[in-house]
Structure 1
Amino acid sequence: MGEPRRTAARAAAMVVVAAGACYCLWRLAAGGRRRRRAGAPGPPADNRPPASTHTMDADALQKLIHLLQATDDPLIQEQALITLSNSAAFSVNQDIIRNLDGLSVIGGMLSDCVPKVKEKALNALNNLSMNIKNQEEIQVYITQVCSSIESAPLNSDLQLAALRLLTNMSVTSDYHHRMINSIPCFLRLLSEGNERTQIQVLKVLVNLSANPAMTRHLLRAQVPSLLLLFDNCINRDILHRALAFAANLKKNMNNEDGTVIQDQYSKDSIFFTLCRDSAPFAQKLASLLHHPDTEVKEQVVRILTQ
């Protein structure tokens, strides 16, 4: 295809994407107006939008999905994914996209070598994962998402997008087993990442640590700098989540008869750092009892009394 034809094709595709984006923005604005007027009487039945509105939604979404399949232009792919991601703010569209096989089309974009395309695909899947039925299909991509986290540049938008998706996918324990092999990667990011990355990793780790079936896998892992997170000077969001992580592990660390199986953990493991009678950790907790934040002190008491 010559350059003029390629340019024309891109322009036509962008018109379709822009139309879909404008429609989504209109729906968001209309929804905002409805929320602001909560309690006001609704319009008469004969003035309400036609029932075909949702069919138009489905048609527009189908065009975007077909466009995503048909083009190899990264710019068009990126814009189509942004529009699909925005449309997934509406629960009805989450179902429509799934029924149109959009999840597999978007998931296929995770194999794209262009980082921005992968990032936008992850953002779309993140919004779509707010739906339980969608999670059942998205879970097949968890291993690939974990690989993206490991291979992405540290603290990059791509890495954060993948971590946000795992946060949603780990809210329930259904898919925790798919993340076991990535626990060392998560803990490495906890040591090496910036505050934004640390907060997002801790969201995943708190979800995993709430599941007793994950306790052994987490306690065996190693993260030498973990104690640095339990400090009065640390970012409040990081400290809250680090304490929740430790509290969950302490709660679940005992086996069924209430005894701790110590010999299955190495001296460098999280078990010996946090969950045994560790003098450094005890000193950190004692210091945090004087923290000005009430929730921090409550979390510390929770750990000390378990």
Structure 2
Amino acid sequence: MGGARDVGWVAAGLVLGAGACYCIYRLTRGRRRGGRGLRLRPSRSAGEAAGCPTSGRGRGTGAVPGPGGDRRRASSCEDLTNGSYDDVLNAEQLQKLLYLLESTEDPVIIERALVTVGNNAAFSVNQAIIRELGGIPIVGNKINSPDPNIKEKALNALNNLSVNVENQIKIKVQVLKLLLNLSENPAMTEGLLGAQVDSSFLSLYDGHVAKEILLRVLTLFQNINNCLKMEGHLAVQPTFTNGSLFFLLYGEECAQKIRALVHHHDAEVKEKAVTMIPTI
């Protein structure tokens, strides 16, 4: 079933870098040295600043009608994906590339752009630049693509980006947003619970994990419970295989983690955990 495969792709994205729990712990304990740096985002204005055309019926496809200059600029953006750049892309080139990835609907260009982002994300300096340019949600959104090649390239890019400690939380938050959307749909509940998920998923319920992640994983569990209740499945345990999300969420280890969150230092996390105690 397509829905189950989609859940599997999203679940795969969720556990990227999940083994680096200690790194996340260090990050959430506070690494606030220095300023925030660039907070550029490849919006329409960013695309214009980077030299990419932003108007016309062919927006993002490279076939932009209008003056020859627009066509040349569109072509230069796509040139970044054709393998002609052997060196590491600089910030301006990455900005162009991310704008192209965000704006185009051409699957061939999207796949090539994701490959280029992934290759450049293998370099530590670009892992930070791509994050500062808002590239993580742009790449993460491509997991929703119906094209399995695009999904795969997006996961590869996220995998390289996840080497950077500060990127790990942003990647998990982005993928959790996708899972939360799925969890609100009762038609997706069975596919979601049947998805094979690495056991490291449960580390997201640890008390030292960032608040924004804790609130989302608790809400994920809550949404699934609500959908099961609506469908009348809480009294009847469906058949799921070992290693599925069902076995992780409804196992004793997860229950212990949620009970521990009742004593969390953050009031919102504590309140969310308290409301879930009767369901575990």
- Shorter-chain TM-score bucket reads 0.5 to 0.7
1:300 equivalent to 2:273? Answer yes
Task: Give the one of 77, 80, 95 matched to 1:109.
Answer: 80
Task: Give the one of 83, 103, 126 matched to 1:157.
Answer: 126
Q: Match of 2:202, as an amino acid?
A: L
Separation (CA, whole Å) in 2 of partners of 1:173 and 1:153: 19
1:139-164 Cα shifts (integer Å, max 9, x gaps): 65444455457665386634973895
Say if 1:111 and 1:217 are closer, same or farther in 2 by CA, change over 3 A: farther
Q: TM-score, normalised by structure 1?
A: 0.49
Separation (CA, whole Å) in 2 of partners of 1:120 and 1:223: 37
Q: Match of 2:233, as an amino acid?
A: T
Q: How does 1:155-304 map to 2 (within 5 A)?
A: 157-158=126-127, 161=130, 164-165=134-135, 167-168=137-138, 175=145, 180-181=151-152, 193-209=163-179, 210-211=181-182, 212=185, 216=191, 219-247=194-222, 254=228, 257-259=231-233, 262-263=238-239, 265-274=240-249, 277-300=250-273
Q: TM-score, normalised by structure 2?
A: 0.52
Displacement of 1:198: 1.7
1:69-116 Cα shifts (integer Å, max 9, x gaps): xxxxxxxxxxxxx9x9845479x9733775435556424413435363
Identical columns (%): 22
Separation (CA, whole Å) in 2 of partners of 1:105 and 1:160: 20
Q: Match of 1:236, as an amino acid?
A: K
Displacement of 1:129: 6.6
User: Which position in structure 1 is the counterpart of 2:96?
Assistant: 124
Alignment length, in residue pairs?
A: 214
Displacement of 1:195: 3.5
Q: Which runs of 5+ in 1 are unaligned?
A: 1-81
Q: Match of 2:145, as an amino acid?
A: Y
Pick 1 or 2: higher relative contact order, CA cutoff 8 A, min separation 6.
Answer: 2
Displacement of 1:292: 2.2
Paired residue secondary structure (2:89): helix
Displacement of 1:304: 5.5
1:285–1:300 CA contact under 8 A, matched in 2: yes
Say if 1:117 and 1:173 are closer, same or farther in 2 by CA, change over 3 A: closer
Separation (CA, whole Å) in 2 of partners of 1:283 and 1:259: 23
Paired residue secondary structure (2:167): helix
Q: Which has the higher helix share?
A: 1
Displacement of 1:284: 0.8
1:180-226 Cα shifts (integer Å, max 9, x gaps): 54697699779x74532222221331232113487636852322212
Say if 1:143 and 1:87 are closer, same or farther in 2 by CA, change over 3 A: closer
Q: Match of 2:261, as an amino acid?
A: L
Displacement of 1:297: 3.0
User: Which position in structure 2 is the counterpart of 1:95?
Assistant: 55
How big is the alpha-carbon RMSD for the aligned residues of Structure 1 and Structure 2?
4.9
Separation (CA, whole Å) in 1 of partners of 2:275 and 2:233: 19
Q: Match of 1:109, as an amino acid?
A: L
Moved more, 147-156 or 231-240: 147-156
Displacement of 1:117: 1.9
Q: Match of 1:228, as an amino acid?
A: S
Please identify the structure whose Cα radius of gyration is greater. Answer: 1
Say if 1:109 and 1:246 are closer, same or farther in 2 by CA, change over 3 A: farther
